[in-house]
Amino acid sequence: MALAELSVEDLRCIEKAELSLGPGTHLIFGANGAGKTSLLEAAFVLGRGRSFRTRLNERLIRHGAKAFRVVGRTVAEPLPHTLGLEVGKEQGTRARLDGENVRSLAELAAAFPVQAIDPDAHKLIEDSSARRRRWLDWAVFHVEPGFGGAWSRYSRALLQRNGALRANQGHIEVWDRELAREGEMLTDCRVRVLTALRPYWAELCSLLVEQDLALGFTAGWDRTHSLAESLANALPRDRERGATSTGPHRADVLLRLQGKAAREVLSRGQQKLAAVALTLCQLEYLQREHGLRSTLLLDDPSAELDQERLGRFIQRVKALDTQLIVTALDRDSRLFGTPESVFHVEQGRVSRL
């Protein structure tokens, strides 16, 4: 699924921009701070409901504006969609799909699958488990039909249970039953997809990182016991802390080298390569086994990659045969071949060349 059109208003330094796109590769060039990455953020927000640089959408609102607005239209494959997202300081978030208000931002993700690789990609390895859960869950959402609903129901029950714990209420067990049922289901989904990803990961990790990094998973509780048993055993501790300490919301994707956590032994450059390999293995798996082509946003892709690994990376990306939107400092950048369109960004103003 590719973007055919992208309209942006009042997002970061972009007051107003209109981009005509389509399948193939598209280049956005300009000086540092001109607004190149902001355009990638706009495309990412359209399919994810959030930026890849911050979880607080209000931070994307241009200085002096009350809200930002992003609208996009996808190429008809299999059906065209019109998506819109508006975030205001007072009104909050409003999203629409094909002219109708959405009940969940997951509807945008289903209509426009999009991934991003940016200079901070290493944080996927370095930061907390939440980033790695989001990485895994994005793929799981697209291939496991029951996952989205199970995660929504689990999240609501978790919110209620934590509220009851903080208020020192009784009858916590009523929330435990729903948490256990939905938590077991969504964890089974995660395990199936991670298992399917491992062959792709092994190949790409060897190609890019040149290290034998094991890809593992911890469910968020000891699976020698059921989740229901674990919640019951943890209840005294949870009452004391006022929060649920066990369950899928504490799951993690584990990357280890000779038994040690990858973030402890890999350099920052190696961490970025590992993160790139994780993203590519997802895209290859989704395309080859499920026929899903995602738009890929590449923000300054040559940063911190040596020429040999950059060449390997470029070859794998080209093989994806998917829509690419790439930023660069130079208009003559041809890392991924001759682009279908070229846009110049200067001080937040966008022009097509």
Q: What is the pLDDT of residues 163-207, one digit of tens each?
A: 999 998 888 888 999 999 999 999 999 999 999 999 999 999 999
**In whole numbers, what is the pLDDT of the chain averaged over residues?**
94
The residue ranges of every structural domain in the chain are: 3-120+144-199+221-247+293-352
Q: Are 345 and 24 in contact (CB under 8 A)?
A: no
* In the predicted structure, residue 344 carries a pLDDT above the cut 80: yes
Q: What is the pLDDT of residues 109-125, one digit of tens each?
A: 999 999 999 999 999 99
What's the rounded mean pLDDT across residues 10-38?
95
Continuous segment of H or E residues that includes residue 318: helix 307-320
User: Looking at residue 78, what is its pLDDT?
Assistant: 72
User: Looking at residue 90, what is its pLDDT?
Assistant: 86
User: Looking at residue 55, what is its pLDDT?
Assistant: 87
Distances in Å between the Cα of 303 and the Cα atoms of 26, 39, 326 are 18, 18, 13
Angle between helix axes 173-204 and 129-143 (nearest 10 degrees) is 90
User: Looking at residue 351, what is its pLDDT?
Assistant: 94
Q: Are 336 and 314 in contact (CB under 8 A)?
A: yes
* In the predicted structure, residue 327 carries a pLDDT above the cut 80: yes
What's the rounded mean pLDDT across residues 95-101?
95
**Closest CA relative to residue 70, chosen from 146, 11, 153, 112:** 11
What would the 3-class secondary structure string for 12-58 be?
CCEEEEEEECCCCEEEEECCCCCCHHHHHHHHHHHHHCCCCCCCCHH
pLDDT band at 256 (very low <50, low <70, confident <90, very high): very high
User: Looking at residue 275, what is its pLDDT?
Assistant: 96
User: Looking at residue 81, what is its pLDDT?
Assistant: 94
User: Looking at residue 306, what is its pLDDT?
Assistant: 82
To the nearest whole percent, how much of the chain has pLDDT over 70?
Answer: 100
* In the predicted structure, residue 350 carries a pLDDT above the cut 80: yes
Continuous segment of H or E residues that includes residue 190: helix 173-204
Q: What is the pLDDT of residues 228-242, one digit of tens each?
A: 999 999 999 999 999
User: Looking at residue 170, what is its pLDDT?
Assistant: 81
pLDDT band at 307 (very low <50, low <70, confident <90, very high): confident
* In the predicted structure, residue 65 carries a pLDDT above the cut 90: yes
User: Looking at residue 91, what is its pLDDT?
Assistant: 86
Question: What is this structure's pTM?
Answer: 0.94
Q: Is CATH 3.40.50.300 the right assignment for the domain spanning 3-120+144-199+221-247+293-352?
A: yes
User: Looking at residue 321, what is its pLDDT?
Assistant: 87
* In the predicted structure, residue 304 carries a pLDDT above the cut 80: no
Q: What is the pLDDT of residues 198-226, one digit of tens each?
A: 999 999 999 999 999 999 999 999 999 99
User: Looking at residue 44, what is its pLDDT?
Assistant: 97
**Closest CA relative to residue 321, chosen from 278, 300, 291:** 291
Per the listing, tokens 């041809």 go with 334
Q: What is the pLDDT of residues 277-287, one digit of tens each?
A: 999 999 999 99
Q: Report the length, in residues, of the chain.
A: 353
What's the rounded mean pLDDT across residues 46-67?
93
List the beta bridge partners of residue 87. 68, 93
**Closest CA relative to residue 88, chosen from 58, 64, 59:** 58
Spatial strand order in the sheet of 67-74: 14-20, 3-11, 67-74, 82-88, 92-97, 100-101
What b-and-e string marks burial along 171-190, b requiring 16 or more CB atoms within 10 Å of the CB? ebeebbebbbebbbbbbebb
